[in-house]
Amino acid sequence: MRGEFRQYSLTYTLIVLNVVLYLFSAFLSGSIASMDMQVLVDMGALYGPLTVLKGEWWRLLSAMFLHGGMTHLLMNMVSLYLIGRGAELYFSKTAYLSIYLFSGLLGGLASLMVHPVSVGIGASGAIFGLFGALAGFFLAHREKIGAHTKAFMKEFTVIIAINMGIGLAIASVDVSAHIGGLAVGFLGGFFLSKSPKFTLPYVAVMVVCMAAMMAYLPGLYAQIPF
């Protein structure tokens, strides 16, 4: 058990952080099944007027560890358990954490752009980033592991199609964050699996993308009648 935790330490640590924060939000909400929306906003959920207009950009990070209810938490943590351990086998700790965080952060920015007045929470953007990272990895090494790549890409396409279908069918699911995280993760997975030397350029490009979106959003929000 100790050896398994060491092997998948990042995945298990992220799961524990999400669960601990959920329990804390449940305590403040007075319910274990469903969270009070104001409690989530106070704890750092994404909300356009506060994040963009008030400059509370830290919410991009905090929102990644908040969930709206038990079903929401369980779905995301099961997904993280399944996909995270796989990603941790193929990527270094630094690459894994970079992909996870930037997928969640840029997924959050995509959400702010598409849904300026919605409250955004959840780890799904970051988790989709890990899905994308594995797709990028298999694509980058398709010549060496051709049969495995085809099998994975088929399964990957089915999983993504199902999740996107659920997102389109349920209004509260933020597909924009999923797509943003998926794209960021795919780029990270493709390049970081080729060589560790791409880590710094990847981080630099992601930071520039974040800075550009953060500079653009206030002007966009200024045109919205809140």
Domains of the chain are: 2-222 (1.20.1540.10)
Choose, from 25, 176, 178, 193, the residue flagged as catalytic: 178
* Residue 124 falls in the annotated catalytic set: yes
* Residue 141 falls in the annotated catalytic set: no
Q: Write down the pLDDT at residue 139.
A: 85
Give the separation between CA 161 and CA 139, rounded to whole angstroms.
18
Q: Write down the pLDDT at residue 82.
A: 86
What are the mean pLDDT values of the chain's consecutive 10-residue runs (226 residues total)?
A: 80 97 97 94 96 97 95 89 89 96 97 92 93 89 68 64 58 77 95 93 97 97 85
Choose, from 124, 141, 148, 176, the residue flagged as catalytic: 124
Q: Write down the pLDDT at residue 13.
A: 97
Q: Write down the pLDDT at residue 33.
A: 93
pTM value?
A: 0.91
